[in-house]
Structure 1
Amino acid sequence: MPQQTLSRRTVLRRGALVSTALGLGLATTTGGAAATKKAELIEAMASKSGLSTADVERALDAFTDATTAALSVGDSAVLVGFGSFSISKRSARTGRNPQSERRPKDESPVTFDACPEFAAALDLNPGRGDEASAKCRDADVVIDAAYIARATGDESHAGLSKADSKRAIEGFLSVAVDALKKGDRLSVAASDDSGGSDDSGGSDDSDASDDSFGSFSISKRSARTGRNPQTGKEIQIAAKNVVKFKAGAELSKAVN
């Protein structure tokens, strides 16, 4: 009997692990981190897109590399259908001694604006209307399937096809929507992060969180009084949920 009980527990535990795997490596705890390792995000994207993990990683690295390069020279970048990235403009403000416990809340040096399609998939009110649409159309660097196809080619590899590049982007968007709808945080590693796959296709099993590029989460913005940019008149802005982006260490270093 003890042996049967142990066996049943083992089966249940393995079943739970399988369920997690079928959940594409995303954390099940609300408010936790989803796809904490780069390898997990790549596996999730591969499962969604039907592409190999190697091709998915090349596409993901092309996105993070292009965004980092654009922001490092002050340009904006957009991943089509997902969102736009630009340098934050910080106004003068009162800070606190970093050694003090009463330090200001961490701020990201990068601003993220969800494209209307992504906001709609998350059942969010885009909130910025034409402004959000314009940022997603008129960024300095537009990362789409054609861009990924070009960027993934080098002396040793042919670039991904436009069709496969589109599937990789759609896989990333699907994983992001799944995670954020659950209330999880989605971490994304920079291309040179040690958590990536090696040349043999294997992945590092480091326990460190791969968010060197940045992380995405849903944040509730309180109702507040604003001003109409056209008239200067005060207007009441309703509370809403927005996608919050926090730049990681590597991206922050590149833009500062």
Structure 2
Amino acid sequence: MNKAELIEAMASEAGLSKADAKRTVDAITGATTKALKKGDRIAVVGFGSFRVSKRAAQAEAAGKQTTVRFEPCPAFAAALDLSPGKGDDRRNQSCPAERTADLVVDAALIASETRRDSDRGLSEATAGKALDAFVDATAAALRGDDDVTLAGFGSFSISKRSARTGRNPQREKESAAKNEVKFKAGAELSKAVN
């Protein structure tokens, strides 16, 4: 799913215009990019958190590229069924990263960002519906084994990890197979954080 398909899915799901859905996606990715560029931790409500790798200083000293990490919040992970059998426990938990984030992308921030970019910004209620539609459309695409690619920002995909034995051979602990959300930063985002 590319950005245009995501915008269309958001618009149809939340009853928004495509222009409002596009403003929302641009506000989310723009605010996230600006904050990551400063080295901040970002939490997108109901979705997950982004941060620049802690090894960034070491990587810059060695001339390597820094990486952007994404951690899905429990509600988003439960919607994707990433932890089979644990969904009921985690489904209604808020994202712990929201409490420690330097920037929280929520309806109020999206509304203010869209007002800054045009005279016709989104109301906070509309921004909330659009944010929920963004999370739901992304989850639906990932559940359907489709990647979500936002040009310049990055792409989300599901990685299937097979069962494996732990590192301590004396314990022979077996790790169960699981699915993980992977995020790969796009060229523009990588350039901004490096």
Same fold (TM > 0.5): yes
Q: Give, as a single letter, the amino acid of the residue that structure 1 aligns with 2:132.
A: E
The residue number in structure 2 matching 1:221 is 161
Q: For each residue in 1:7-42, what CA deviation from the matched residue of structure 2 results, as whole angstroms up to 9, or x when unmatched?
A: xxxxxxxxxxxxxxxxxxxxxxxxxxx2x3x32221
Q: 1:125 offset after TM fit, Å?
A: 1.6
Q: Which of 43, 65, 73 lines up with 1:115 in the alignment?
A: 73
2:192 is aligned with 1:254: yes
1:63–1:143 contact (8 Å) kept in structure 2: yes
The residue number in structure 2 matching 1:245 is 183
Q: 1:108 offset after TM fit, Å?
A: 7.5
Give the TM-score normalised by the residue count of structure 1.
0.62
Distance 2:117 2:53 in 1: 36
Q: Give, as a single letter, the amino acid of the residue that structure 1 aligns with 2:180.
A: V
2:143 is aligned with 1:175: no
Q: 1:156 offset after TM fit, Å?
A: 4.1
Identify if the C-alpha distance between structure 1 residues 235 and 147 changes in structure 2 by more than 3 Å, giving closer, same or farther: farther
Identify if the C-alpha distance between structure 1 residues 50 and 125 changes in structure 2 by more than 3 Å, giving closer, same or farther: same
* Matched position secondary structure for 1:154: helix
* Matched position secondary structure for 2:69: strand
Q: For each residue in 1:93-129, what CA deviation from the matched residue of structure 2 results, as whole angstroms up to 9, or x when unmatched?
A: 9xxxxxxxxxxxxx981100000000011111299x8
Distance 2:7 2:28 in 1: 13
2:29 is aligned with 1:60: no
CA RMSD in angstroms comes to 2.8
Unaligned runs of 5+ in 2: 60-64
Q: 1:234 offset after TM fit, Å?
A: 9.8
Q: Give, as a single letter, the amino acid of the residue that structure 2 aligns with 1:186.
A: V
* Matched position secondary structure for 1:84: strand
Q: Give, as a single letter, the amino acid of the residue that structure 2 aligns with 1:71.
A: L
2:6–2:138 contact (8 Å) kept in structure 1: no
Higher gyration radius (CA): 1
The residue number in structure 2 matching 1:203 is none
2:147–2:157 contact (8 Å) kept in structure 1: yes
Bigger proportion of residues as helix: 2
Distance 1:55 1:145 in 2: 13
Q: For each residue in 1:30-76, what CA deviation from the matched residue of structure 2 results, as whole angstroms up to 9, or x when unmatched?
A: xxxx2x3x322211211111111111111111100110011111101
Unaligned runs of 5+ in 1: 1-33, 94-106, 189-210, 228-232
1:115–1:136 contact (8 Å) kept in structure 2: no
Distance 1:185 1:43 in 2: 16
1:224–1:239 contact (8 Å) kept in structure 2: no
2:46–2:95 contact (8 Å) kept in structure 1: no
Q: 1:135 offset after TM fit, Å?
A: 1.8
2:165–2:172 contact (8 Å) kept in structure 1: no
The residue number in structure 2 matching 1:146 is 108
Identify if the C-alpha distance between structure 1 residues 224 and 162 changes in structure 2 by more than 3 Å, giving closer, same or farther: farther
Identify if the C-alpha distance between structure 1 residues 177 and 157 changes in structure 2 by more than 3 Å, giving closer, same or farther: same
Identify if the C-alpha distance between structure 1 residues 45 and 225 changes in structure 2 by more than 3 Å, giving closer, same or farther: same
Distance 2:167 2:47 in 1: 26
Identify if the C-alpha distance between structure 1 residues 154 and 221 changes in structure 2 by more than 3 Å, giving closer, same or farther: same
